């Protein structure tokens, strides 16, 4: 099962959502993102939010179209996206995608990047992706991974999320590395590219942010 979550970030930054409508995918709306989904004829199975970013007319439409609406007061300990992500993790999907979670307020964007840690801390196997029209962002724990070339997003960057990332090795890349140590604040692994259809990256300690992007 795949769970797609759409938040209320700037609509112009959304990818083409039709590309993510697999048969085994279900949709979740967050705040104004629910309205964006309904405008694209996508009905979420559940919605979360305080809905302070929609008009009364838009809220009436949401209430009439969404069977399960989780409405909260603005004063709460979790963001609307965190509530939706926690619900999604409980469903035990293989993949969770978060859309509408970039752009706009920087505090919201950075909080959403940090939310990628939630399944890792919970030892949940779901892979969580943060996706907009220009970027795909995800986290990796220590290990060895194969990564496939994407012509639509040729740049691949690796950033440490933890204080240190040890023994990072890149093979099949334009700028290869072997057992390199990088620390928080390092820009050594920005804007790399694959030179063949596949490459590998590995490291022994820390957490990496992986970003696939295009200009």
Q: Do 110 and 69 fall into the same domain? A: yes
Which range marks the domain in which residue 157 is found?
A: 139-213
Determine how many CB atoms are found less than 10 A away from the CB of residue 177: 18
Q: Are 82 and 114 in contact (CB under 8 A)?
A: no
Q: Do 149 and 114 fall into the same domain? A: no
CATH number at residue 66: 3.40.50.10240
Average pLDDT of the chain?
92
**∠121-211-17 over CA atoms, to 5°?**
90
Q: Dmax over Cα atoms in the chain, in whole Å?
A: 57
**pTM for the full model?**
0.91
Last residue within a domain, chosen from 95, 115, 133? 133
Q: Do 118 and 155 fall into the same domain? A: no
pLDDT (tens digit, 9 = 90+) per residue, 161-213? 999 999 999 999 999 999 999 999 999 999 999 999 999 999 999 999 999 99
pLDDT number for residue 74: 74
pLDDT (tens digit, 9 = 90+) per residue, 31-75? 989 989 999 999 999 999 888 877 788 888 888 888 898 888 777
State yes or no: pLDDT of 98 exceeds 80.
yes
Q: Do 112 and 15 fall into the same domain? A: yes
pLDDT number for residue 76: 78
Determine how many CB atoms are found less than 10 A away from the CB of residue 57: 8
Burial class from Cβ neighbours inside 10 Å (0-12, 13-18, 19+) for residue 77 reads exposed
């Amino acid at each position: 099962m795949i769970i797609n979550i759409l938040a209320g970030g700037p609509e112009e930054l959304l990818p083409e959502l039709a590309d993510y409508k697999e048969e085994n995918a279900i949709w979740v709306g967050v705040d104004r993102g629910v309205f964006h989904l309904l405008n694209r004829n996508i009905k979420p199975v559940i919605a979360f939010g305080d809905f302070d970013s929609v008009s009364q007319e838009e809220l009436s439409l949401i209430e009439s179209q969404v069977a399960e609406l989780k409405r909260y007061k603005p004063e709460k300990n979790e963001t609307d996206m965190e509530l939706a992500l926690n619900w999604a993790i409980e469903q035990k999907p293989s993949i969770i995608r978060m859309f509408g979670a970039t752009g706009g307020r920087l505090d919201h964007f950075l909080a959403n990047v940090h939310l990628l840690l939630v399944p890792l801390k919970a030892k949940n196997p779901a892979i969580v992706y943060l996706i907009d029209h220009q970027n795909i962002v995800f986290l990796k724990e220590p290990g060895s991974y194969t990564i496939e070339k994407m012509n639509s997003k040729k740049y691949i960057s690796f950033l440490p999320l933890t204080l240190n990332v040890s023994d990072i090795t890149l093979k099949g890349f334009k700028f290869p590395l072997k057992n390199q140590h990088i620390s928080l604040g390092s820009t050594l692994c920005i804007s790399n590219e694959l030179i063949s259809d596949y490459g590998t990256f590995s490291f022994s300690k820390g957490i990496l942010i992986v970003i696939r992007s295009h200009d």
